[in-house]
Structure 1
């Protein structure tokens, strides 16, 4: 991957369909998410199609699925498959994985194997969908392995469109995605690189507090059009957190084209804009400064 040739790095995109056509979510939850985001177009691009989409825009993208089999009963798309698909497009795709903390010791072994043998650089957690609190000791062996491996832990935070409007929210509990629950993780694993995904409605101030206070906690801006960002998020991104805020779209529910067009209208200082779009992610993902 030639960082100098990239105009942006999107740290939050989803692989929503496997090579065999298997979806990352049940049809009920997938439809509810599409309704929530008004995204009924190509909601299921293949990883190859995702690569083409970003290559045409001179962007790179982090790609992952969500493993929530314990809580939902829906089998995941295999992490190895996503990593292999990303390896076919190393110029634009960066593989992350997802392991349900309920997998226990088997999940820890899988994490080590994915990093060592498949080039995985991080792990996506969706506490509400996976049915666990981030500060639950259930997940601590997995965090310990991720920290030791030098990989990244990315946590969904705030409300989710998954299950929205479904009876009982599809059994999904929003409370698990309060970013303050990640504060203990940042304390107990001080060298773990953490990303709090999304503007964390209704806990935006909590996310800003944790990211400001904890050295290795970052925030990605995915899942919302920038024109709806809370003003305090824009203010912190433009000042105190300018080195810790990352471009993310949540593709395919929000396209990078739409996100970037709305981001261009925000009052962000030009040097900070460059940091958010690429430089901060390059440093976090590759532990180096991009030019």
Structure 2
């Protein structure tokens, strides 16, 4: 089975070392013992591993949280990877909503001049929810460029200053209502608001979701049931590499009780359609 991984940051030495000494996520990585399983590879070896496991595309979502956390844009690093393997990796530009029109200009440059295929924002790190007015110029630009936006959700465990309310899917529902043509991916499934996230995806035509990291967490059986009944055509496989080993996550998805139709859609078809790769 062919696979598109919608949250795949290659475990290069720079990426792994950066995670082990991360100024914002360091406490979370320590809590979940990332150092015990971290390993680095060359980009060439990573691509060989992807080939061996049927992963034909990896979407790399960048970050920019310079205003709130001093984390400068990761877009140059993502571009360096996508330029080396343009047929294998797809970049999404990380954007800081506090930068206003500078963020819009960055998005347009990354898409029109450098071939990125979408935007990525993080309400936890921005410290404002996804329906705050500061994001709206970014969403408008995404509609103009006809590219998706990945909105990172999840608990933001042990991130100083992060507030869970900022990641609640109700805010994404408002965005979807205000921008019905905007293609949205709720990354990390808006965990722990499983039921609410499912309904936001179900009731809005252009809202998708990945479950990265939370496939086997408490309450996650709701995601699986919804995949087999309501939203199997709108869930995307995302390994959360390199925090989790993509090879292990592929095995997790082989074991989850998806229907054959849902599994085929989740692993490849939905992402292919969302990215316009089948056009």
Q: TM-score, normalised to structure 1's length?
A: 0.86
Correspondence for 1:182 among 162, 172, 188: 172
Q: TM-score, normalised to structure 2's length?
A: 0.89
The whole-number CA distance in structure 2 between the counterparts of 1:104 and 1:26 is 29
The whole-number CA distance in structure 2 between the counterparts of 1:245 and 1:53 is 24
Paired position in structure 1 for 2:240: 250
Match runs of 1:158-197 below 5 Å: 158-161=154-157, 164=158, 169-197=159-187
CA deviation string 1:219-268 (max 9, x = no partner): 11212344766221111111110110110011011112211212222221
CA contact (8 A) 1:24 1:76 kept: no
The whole-number CA distance in structure 2 between the counterparts of 1:281 and 1:101 is 25
Paired position in structure 2 for 1:34: 29
User: Is 1:12 aligned to 2:2, yes or no?
Assistant: no
Instruction: Name the SS of the counterpart of 1:96 in structure 2.
Output: strand
Higher deviation after alignment, 131-140 or 35-44 = 35-44
Correspondence for 1:71 among 65, 68, 71: 68
Task: Evaluate the alpha carbon distance shift between residue 57 and residue 232 of structure 1 in structure 2; reply closer, same or farther with a 3 A threshold.
Answer: same
Match runs of 1:190-269 below 5 Å: 190-226=180-216, 230-269=220-259
Correspondence for 1:92 among 81, 88, 94: 88
Task: Evaluate the alpha carbon distance shift between residue 20 and residue 238 of structure 1 in structure 2; reply closer, same or farther with a 3 A threshold.
Answer: closer
The whole-number CA distance in structure 1 between the counterparts of 2:132 and 2:216 is 32
Instruction: Name the SS of the counterpart of 2:166 in structure 1.
Output: helix
The whole-number CA distance in structure 1 between the counterparts of 2:94 and 2:206 is 20
Count of aligned pairs between the two proteins: 277
**1:125: Cα distance to partner?**
1.2
Paired position in structure 1 for 2:114: 118
Task: Evaluate the alpha carbon distance shift between residue 48 and residue 71 of structure 1 in structure 2; reply closer, same or farther with a 3 A threshold.
Answer: farther
Task: Evaluate the alpha carbon distance shift between residue 36 and residue 147 of structure 1 in structure 2; reply closer, same or farther with a 3 A threshold.
Answer: farther
Task: Evaluate the alpha carbon distance shift between residue 12 and residue 51 of structure 1 in structure 2; reply closer, same or farther with a 3 A threshold.
Answer: same
The whole-number CA distance in structure 1 between the counterparts of 2:129 and 2:40 is 29
User: Is 1:278 aligned to 2:268, yes or no?
Assistant: yes
Task: Evaluate the alpha carbon distance shift between residue 21 and residue 213 of structure 1 in structure 2; reply closer, same or farther with a 3 A threshold.
Answer: closer
Root-mean-square deviation over aligned CA pairs: 2.6
